[in-house]
Amino acid sequence: MNPNIPQTDRKRVVIVGAGFGGLKLARKLSHRKEFQVVLINKQNYHEFQPLYYQVATAGLEANSILFPLRAVFGGCKNVHIRVTTVTGIRTADKTVDTELGPVTYDYLVMATGADTNFFNQQNIIEKGLSMKSVSEAIALRNRMLQNFEDALSVETQDEREGLMDVVVVGGGPTGVELCGTLAEMRRTVLPVDYPELDFKMMDIFLIESGGELLGPMSVQSQEHSLNYLQELGVIVKLNTRVKDFDGRIVTMNDGSTLRTNNLIWAAGVKANPLAGLPPDVLGRGGRVLVNRYSQVQGFTDIFAIGDVALMTEEKWPNGHPQVAQPAIQQGRHLAKNLLHWVRNEQPEAFTYNDLGTMATIGRGLAVVDLPYLKFQGFFAWLTWLFVHLMSIVGVKNRLFIFLNWMVNYLTYSNSLRLIIKPKLPKGDVKAMQEKLSDQVEVRT
């Protein structure tokens, strides 16, 4: 196969990854006559990662947080999208190797993001659940809903509790938001859907190895988030580390155990650098060391932005937080600098503008840390809704999400609690099930 990208006299910028950073960069360069943009991504859509947990808990349909890449760049003849996997880079040849074939570059930008970090705990990798892609979020939704269906038919209390109880590992925004939503569902939605089950016996645990929730946020927000979760009935265990999970029993470092079939891992991320980079450019968590111009250490034509990049500033000695804003700002800034370089102008050093951090904890509850203001409660929740709604790509997606949120808030009901599984072809069904468990096809 051949990527079939035309040769032009423009500088070719190859961007690997269509997350927040890669998409922002591609959009900024899409109408510049100086560049030919090649955007390589594993899927043909952009994913809005902060709302994965709402897909997993049946609050939103998957296509509400996805946006087709070709719809973003419709009419941009200098943007070439290729849906494929990058297998490595050859820096000496200025070439990216993909499953479609090699692609040469003048400038290469890694915007490959991060994946779940299981810290090499093989049992948890095999038996736990994660939520770092929309396909994993759909798989989690299917699993949780199927558990409640199965709980109606099991014979023992132990089996029923194992199906209904949930252990979430990681007290960051993902873990906190997921636990809050599950607790709200346990109180309002699930007893209506499953009147034969006693949801007073459904326990939701949040396990955090540190001494507080939402580590990067203010003490005020940490304390309020803990109080909100406890008021919702979530059992929070701080200073506790999960040591093992065999599919039925979660074992902690202090020797205590919890009975559940459902361990959801939201405890950490690791970067996804491209194969072929020198080992000495990789820093903590697999992040690629870059300077203040996003250039990879030792290179002038290879860049990294977003979660995969480790850029230090005086205020951020350990790198920027692995969230959307640094990626968006670095993508926008790199677009300006690429123009400076092709015009033989002096580039500008990047400085991160921290716009704040926020997390929602159930219906009408959130915590918000802005640079000069911190607040919690219902107004914080409205702020969270507005910020996330405005960040969604596409007017139609924003409208769908707004309507979903409004209906859910007014009625506690939606039609998304559906168990949708791919149809298995005839043949080796077991092998196909194993393959499909790692990848759920999403049609947009």
Cα separation, 394 vs 382, in Å, equals 20
CATH topology of domain 11-115+269-342: FAD/NAD(P)-binding domain (3.50.50)
Segment 317-341, tens digit of pLDDT: 999 999 999 999 999 999 999 999 9
Report the alpha-carbon distance of residue 213 to residue 230 in Å, rounded: 12
Residue 222 DSSP SS3: helix
Helices (H) and strands (E) in the chain, counts: 13, 24
pLDDT band at 428 (very low <50, low <70, confident <90, very high): low
Residues of the chain with CATH 3.50.50.100: 122-267
- Sign of the C-alpha dihedral, residues 266, 271, 275, 278? negative
Residue 171 has pLDDT above 60, yes or no: yes
In sequence order, which residues have a C-beta less than 8 Å from that of residue 383 and are 6 or more positions away? 358, 366, 368, 375
- Known catalytic residue: 177? yes
CATH ID of 122-267, from 3.50.50.100, 3.40.30.10, 3.20.20.70, 3.60.150.10:
3.50.50.100
Q: What is the pLDDT of residues 341-357, one digit of tens each?
A: 999 999 999 999 999 99
Q: Is 285 exposed, middle or buried (0-12, 13-18, 19+ CB in 10 A)?
A: middle
pLDDT above 70: percentage of residues in the chain? 93
Per-residue model confidence (pLDDT) at position 444: 36
Contact at 8 Å (CB) between 221 and 374? yes
pLDDT surpassing 50 at residue 441: no
What string of DSSP letters covers 294-330? -BBTT-SSEEE-GGGEE---SS-TT---SSHHHHHHH
What is the tens place of the pLDDT at every residue in 207-222? 999 999 998 899 999 9
pLDDT at 406: 80
Six-digit token string for 250: 């979660």
Question: Please, what is the average pLDDT of the chain?
Answer: 91
The pLDDT of 132-159, averaged and rounded, is 93
pLDDT score at 443: 37
Predicted confidence (pLDDT) per residue in 225-256, tens digit: 999 999 999 999 999 999 999 999 999 999 99
* Per-residue pLDDT reduced to its tens digit, 354-411: 999 999 998 889 999 999 899 999 999 999 999 999 888 887 888 888 888 887 776 7
DSSP 245-302: E-SSEEEETTS-EEE-S-EEE-S-EEE-PPTTS-GGGB-GGGPEEB-TT-BBTT-SSE
Residues 69 and 28 sit within 8 Å (Cβ to Cβ): no
pLDDT in tens, 110-119: 999 999 888 8
Cα separation, 248 vs 244, whole angstroms: 10
- Name the pLDDT band for 162 (thresholds 50, 70, 90): very high
pLDDT tens digit sequence for 57-85: 888 888 889 999 999 998 888 999 999 99
pLDDT at 431: 55
Tell me which of 47, 61, 177, 184 is the catalytic residue: 177
Q: pTM of the full predicted structure?
A: 0.90
Q: Is 187 strand, coil or helix?
A: helix
Residue 47 confidence (pLDDT): 94
User: What sign does the dihedral 123-127-129-132 (CA atoms) show?
Assistant: positive
Q: What is the mean pLDDT of residues 21-39?
A: 96
- In the chain, CATH 3.50.50.60 covers 11-115+269-342
Question: What is the reported pLDDT for 68?
Answer: 94
Pair 14, 274: CB distance under 8 Å: no
Q: Where are the beta strands (DSSP E) in 309-404?
A: 309-310, 357-360, 366-370, 373-376
* Residue 255: predicted pLDDT: 92
Task: Tell me the pLDDT tens digit for each residue of 408-425.
Answer: 776 766 556 777 776 656
| 332: enclosing H helix or E strand | helix 324-342
| Residue pLDDT, tens place only, 289-319 | 999 999 999 999 999 999 999 999 999 999 9
